[in-house]
Amino acid sequence: MSTTTTPATRWGRVRQALAPHAVGLALCVSYVLVLARTARHLGFARDEGFYFQAARSYAGWIQLLLTNRHEALTRGAIDAAWGINHEHPSLMKSLFGISWLFLHQRWHWISQESLAFRLPGMILGGVGLWLTYLFGRRAYGHREGLFAALALALMPRVFYHAHLDCFDVPVMTMWIAVLYCYWRSLAGGVGWAVMTGVVFGLALETKHNAWFVPFLVVAHFIATRGGDMKRDASRGNFPVPLALLAMAILGPLIFVGLWPWMWFDTLQTPAHGPGRLAEYVSFHTNHAYYNMEFLGYNYFRPPFPRTYSWGMILFTVPAITLVLAAIGLVARLPAMLREMSWVASLLPRVTERVPWLARVRGFGAARETDDTRGTATLVFMGFLVPLAPWFSAKTPIFGGTKHWFPAYPFLALMAGVGFVLVAKRFEATLRDRMTREWLPATVLGVVLLLPPLAQTAHSHPFGLSNYTPIVGGAPGAADVGLNRQFWGFTTGSLVPWFNAHAREGAGVYIHDTTYDSWEMMQRDGYLRPDLRAVWQVSEADFSIVHHELHMNEVDYQIWTAYQSPATAEVLAYDGVPIVSVYARAAQP
């Protein structure tokens, strides 16, 4: 008996397939709009200044490629354009430059130069929410995915970094994109495996911490499918996931192919010295150490505290998200143990010796209904592996929380699982009192997300100064000795004061702010163009101090030069001094 698929049925299937993406797209667009609207109030971080310069250079080469391909592909043109800031891959800087070139320079769709540079990073931040929702929805359900995406959006440090012309939020998105494709590929089919390799190449071309993704994939495969490898090989089946093979082949090809700087002297120079790939690796494996305060001590060189990453997660991620993630992790722990083949084989013997464990819900031998893709294990590893470098006392801590952002979508997914578990209990309690089944969970979700929303809104534009109530907020963090800020971006919050109080042509010692960042505030029309950035306190009419523990000496230098400790302005966040401005006394 044959069945006929009517147009209405086909359209119904299309709508069903597109519905998750409609929600994801709405999350993405909403987040990007909020980021774009709030970016004007956020000063420019140190690294942004370097990437503005690199993006302009790359955009110039792209423009040359469109007009004179032969000249653009010569080594001289490539080295001149791509030699700038080549310690980092080029994908995001290229996107920054393309956005600036077309949306600002040519088409004039974006009047603010900085917003044109920042927009690609914002879009990748929105895509990260989209993918988190998709992963959560497919793995667990709509409510889990939606709560996870919102919980990720409402992490103050993520919200701050999502504004920037930088790579940390984009590489977070790339991580979950790679692992989502890998997870889909485990259900079978070549398409998702190839997609995993392609996205992994883009991740490598985004930032160097993407090189840890293969370790995660291998560890997950061995943990969940390692016991089947020998059996598959004996049956003639390929014992290694196709996605891993695609990552090994396509990843490096895309990494080199999209980075013109790597097209020459890739592995070795003509003089038989180390090539550009080795130079890139060496830069990051031998990275310079920068200062960072943690619990009252300024760390400049190893050993660094092994508790740093855990402490900063506790002090900066909203407590509700952490509690729900813990609930979700505990709830999925039995499934995770059953997913790990070597653990599952031991479970029957363990329950024989410890009978009461057999009565624990979900604990015991594997079931036919268990997830064969090892989802619980993958989500847990997705959280843990990005944190792994900070288990070593030699890993620098100068970036604050940004270096382990790839862990946060998976933390949010565990929080989504925890939320639905709590919501189900809440629904059961109120089942006889609510006429609409969806209302209890909706009300609970709003109540639980309001504190992270309030904290995130309150953090702007001082995202790196914000801490959770667990440590007492910004004042409590200052009392226990946590870093107040870095990158010199808070100079942007002083713009109204300088515009109103600085005399014409005044020189300003801009301390930890780069010249490119200072200049961008003037190019965008925020800061008066007559004010000059200077590099010596002795040459400045005004001097800025960004308050960090290792910068206390700058205050003393200014007091000596100006013959006074009096400040002209102190910018504070919740009563905690963030930036101070000193003014040279007028000469009689």
The lowest-confidence range among 100-104, 226-230, 325-329, 440-444 is 226-230
pLDDT digits (tens, 9 = 90+) for 524-563: 999 999 999 999 999 999 999 999 999 999 999 999 999 9
| CA atoms 18, 20, 25, 26: torsion sign | positive
Banded pLDDT at 230 (limits 50, 70, 90): low
- Computed on alpha carbons and rounded to an integer, the radius of gyration of the chain in Å comes to 26
Query: What is the rounded distance in angstroms from the CA atom of residue 435 to the CA atom of residue 446?
Result: 18
Q: Which runs of consecutive H residues, i.e. helices, occur in 205-318?
A: 213-225, 229-234, 242-257, 276-285, 308-316
| Alpha-carbon torsion (70, 75, 79, 80), positive or negative | negative
Q: Could you tell me what percent of the chain has a pLDDT over 90?
A: 77
Contact 486, 464 (CB under 8 A): yes
Q: What is the pLDDT of residue 1?
A: 46
| Tens digit of each residue's pLDDT (9 = 90 or more) over 182-204 | 999 998 889 999 999 999 999 99
Distance between alpha carbon 207 and the CA centroid of its chain, in Å? Answer: 11
For residue 232 the two structure tokens come to 């598959």
pLDDT score recorded for residue 4: 58
Structure tokens at 283: 């830069």
User: Closest Cα to residue 558, out of 576, 575, 577, 539?
Assistant: 539
**363-372 tens-digit pLDDT:** 555 554 567 7
Sheet holding 532-534, edge to edge: 532-534, 507-509, 542-546, 576-583, 569-573
Q: Is 546 helix (H, G, I), strand (E, B) or coil?
A: strand
Residue 340 has pLDDT above 50, yes or no: yes
Mapped onto helix, strand or coil, the DSSP state of residue 280 is helix
Residues found in the chain: 588
CA-CA distance, 395 to 233, in Å (whole number)?
A: 39
Each residue's pLDDT tens digit, 412-458: 999 999 999 999 988 887 776 666 667 888 889 999 999 999 999 99
Given CA atoms 109, 113, 114, 120 in this order, what sign does their dihedral have? positive
Q: What is the pLDDT of residue 224?
A: 86
pLDDT at 234 over 80: no
Distance CA 355, CA 338 (A): 17
Nearest to 456 by CA among 167, 213, 152, 229: 152
Alpha helices, H only, 431-541:
439-459, 473-480, 495-501, 515-523
* DSSP, residue by residue, 373-389: T-HHHHHHHHHHGGGGG
| Residue 39 DSSP code | G
Average pLDDT, the chain: 90
**Residue 16, pLDDT score:** 81
Decide if pLDDT at 352 tops 90.
Answer: no
Lowest mean pLDDT among 218-232, 475-489, 527-541: 218-232
Phi, psi (degrees; rounded to nearest 5) at 545: -125, 120
Tokens of 426: 């809440």
Burial class (CB in 10 A: 0-12, 13-18, 19+), 130: buried
Q: What is the DSSP letter of 492?
A: G
d(CA 262, CA 352): 58
